[in-house]
Amino acid sequence: MAISNASRLADFGSGIGTEGAVIQIDNANQRVGIGTTNPQGTLQVGTGVTIYGNSGIVSATAFYGDGSGLSGAGSALEAASGSQRLVVTSLTSGTMTSAATDADLTWNSTTNTLSATNVSIAGTLTYEDVTNVDSIGVITARSGIRVGAGQSIGSDGAAVVYYGDGSNLDGVVSGIELQQAGSSVGTSLTAINFASGATLTTGSGGISTITIASAGLGTEASTGGLVTLDLTAQDHKITATGITTITVSGGTEGDSHTVRIVNSGIATVGFSTYFLFPSGSTPTLPTADGAISLLSFTVNRVGAAGTQLLAGASLNFS
């Protein structure tokens, strides 16, 4: 059947066959089909090409030829600002929209920042001319951190806290050793406790001043009876009158003491059993008025076992 330009196409339910071709006219739905009897768009050619007239959409199985006139097809790059997604996807099929939401790697051209939730590098990461590395969390360096010569590690705020073994650090004092007459009395000490008689100022600038009082002078005066020497002092003076007996309280092993005895009138001076004299012989001090004697002793023992004073006397300096 031949169709002229003057012919008006009617609704042919079975289509028009022209030398084996099929043209379907669907007036009810305003559709034309070529090679198909059931067109689904304004114009459908076979099963691969469909034109939807009202929406301006052309659908085809594949497009061939020059696409330079197409927009939005990625044929040209355009500058943009703000945050754009850099597509790194595990998808092997689907749309670019789906692929663009499959990764957490973004590039911000305004701030020149590449952002990612996690970055794993199997090889070596080399920084060139990096001024600052800013980490919100903890930086872990499995093989250590090396700082260039003349550089330092510090804090821009609170004090830096170090953990672990510091034995390889220079200039760090972990403790001191105390010696007495060349013999060690303690190592790795971090505190020194001064007994009474020493005054320490509050530390300032890492310095505290220690003032140790000179040996005290104990003066004992008696008209007779028992005189007790307080051995917190090293030197003692007794004015003896009548019958006087000397004893002691306290004392520290190794301490040395002197006792000056001055008679006021006739005086007889004796000693408690704490005093041990050479050969076990207690000296007889002069009794005359004005006589002066000097007694020296060293504390040999104190405590529950009994006090022992190793004494010697120089008599009659009058």
**What digits encode the pLDDT tens for the residues 241-272?**
999 999 999 899 999 999 999 999 999 999 99
Helix, strand or coil, per DSSP, at residue 72: coil
**Per-residue tokens: 159:** 């004090």
Over residues 82-94, mean pLDDT: 63
10 Å Cβ neighbour count for 26? 18
The percent of residues in the chain predicted with pLDDT above 70, rounded, is 75
- DSSP state at residue 280: G
Task: Give, as one character, the DSSP assignment of residue 318.
Answer: -
The Cα–Cα gap between 251 and 234 comes to 10
How far apart CA 260 and CA 280 sit, in angstroms, is 21
Tokens coding 143 = 């093989």
Give the pLDDT score at 9: 47
Number of CB atoms found within 10 A of residue 252's CB: 10
pLDDT confidence of residue 244: 93
For residue 286, the SS3 value is coil
Q: What pLDDT score does 256 carry?
A: 92
Q: Is the pLDDT of residue 80 over 70?
A: no
Categorize the per-residue pLDDT at 101 as very low, low, confident or very high, splitting at 50, 70 and 90. low
Would you say 124 and 114 are in contact if contact means Cβ atoms under 8 Å apart?
no
Predicted pLDDT of residue 294: 95
pLDDT of residue 7: 41
* Angstrom distances, CA of residue 108 to CA of 83, 87, 88, 160, 255: 4, 13, 15, 34, 81
The pLDDT of residue 220 is 55
The predicted-structure confidence for 12-34, as pLDDT tens digits, reads as follows 545 555 545 588 888 888 888 88
Which region among 71-85, 126-140, 150-164, 186-200 has the lowest average model confidence (pLDDT)?
71-85
Higher pLDDT, 10 or 260: 260
Q: Is the pLDDT of residue 64 over 60?
A: yes
Instruction: Tell me the mean pLDDT in the region 124-131.
Output: 70
Instruction: Quote the pLDDT of residue 160.
Output: 76
311 has which bridge partners?
297
Least confident among 2-6, 155-159, 258-262: 2-6
Distance of CA 170 to the CA centre of its chain: 19
Q: What is the pLDDT of residue 10?
A: 47
Per-residue pLDDT, 278: 94
| pTM listed for this prediction | 0.36
Q: In what order do the strands lie in the sheet with 106-108?
A: 83-85, 106-108, 113-115
Query: What is the arithmetic mean of pLDDT over 35-41?
Result: 86
**Cross-strand partners of 19:** none
Who contacts 35 (Cβ-Cβ below 8 Å, separation ≥6)? 21, 22, 45, 46
Write the pLDDT tens digit of every residue in 281-295: 999 999 999 999 999
Model confidence at 3, pLDDT cuts 50, 70, 90, reads very low
The pLDDT assigned to 284 comes to 94
* Residue count (the chain): 318
Of the ranges 9-18, 68-77, 170-179, 224-233, the best mean pLDDT one: 224-233
